[in-house]
Amino acid sequence: MTNAPPNRLLLDRLATPLGPMLAVVDETGVLWGLWFTDDESEPKFLRSLRHRHGEPHMANDAALATVRQTLGRYFAGEIAVLREIPWSAAGTPFQQTVWAALTRIPAGATVSYSALAAMIGTPKAVRAVGTANGANPISIVVPCHRVIGANRALTGYGGGLARKRWLLAHEGVLLPEPPPFP
């Protein structure tokens, strides 16, 4: 993971079992953004991207093909392949620490916000950890969906709670009576 801003970002839409996503990579194939999109979230994602890095270029090239193929393998059941995707994200040092910690939560496991705060050595910073988790720009690969409430309740997720529940079930997390994804 690096935090150096890329020279040029490439943007593409990806089809997934949970709906469309936008993927952003630099010219070397490092993933800088991955979001579920819909009519409401796509403009927000693009504004954030432009604010941090300038205008992305729509592309469908080899750098994006690797991310597309690896995510396809993930959705086909090869959960561990997420670690193969190089990523970077612009954020504060605290956000970077939280995002790096998220990648240490193994597939099939969940942690609470308080446990995540303790993992990074700031046990009293539960709200700040929650805010940093919510600002994660790289859905699934930086697995913010693996953070749940202390009472095992599903709490906020930028892609929606139905997607969060599906992702956790896909990774083998047993939750009470998961409803089907709409």
User: Comparing C-alpha atoms, which of 99, 93, 110 is closest to residue 134?
Assistant: 99
The secondary structure of 51-104 as a DSSP string is HHH---EE--SHHHHHHHHHHHHHHTT-GGGGGGS-B-----HHHHHHHHHHTT
Supply 102's token pair: 């998220």
- Are the beta carbons of 143 and 108 closer than 8 angstroms? no
Supply 181's token pair: 């994804």
Largest CA distance in the chain: 46
Helix (H, G, I), strand (E, B) or coil at 41: helix
Does residue 138 carry a catalytic annotation? no
Q: Which one of 144, 148, 168, 173 is the catalytic residue?
A: 144
* Catalytic residue ranges: 144
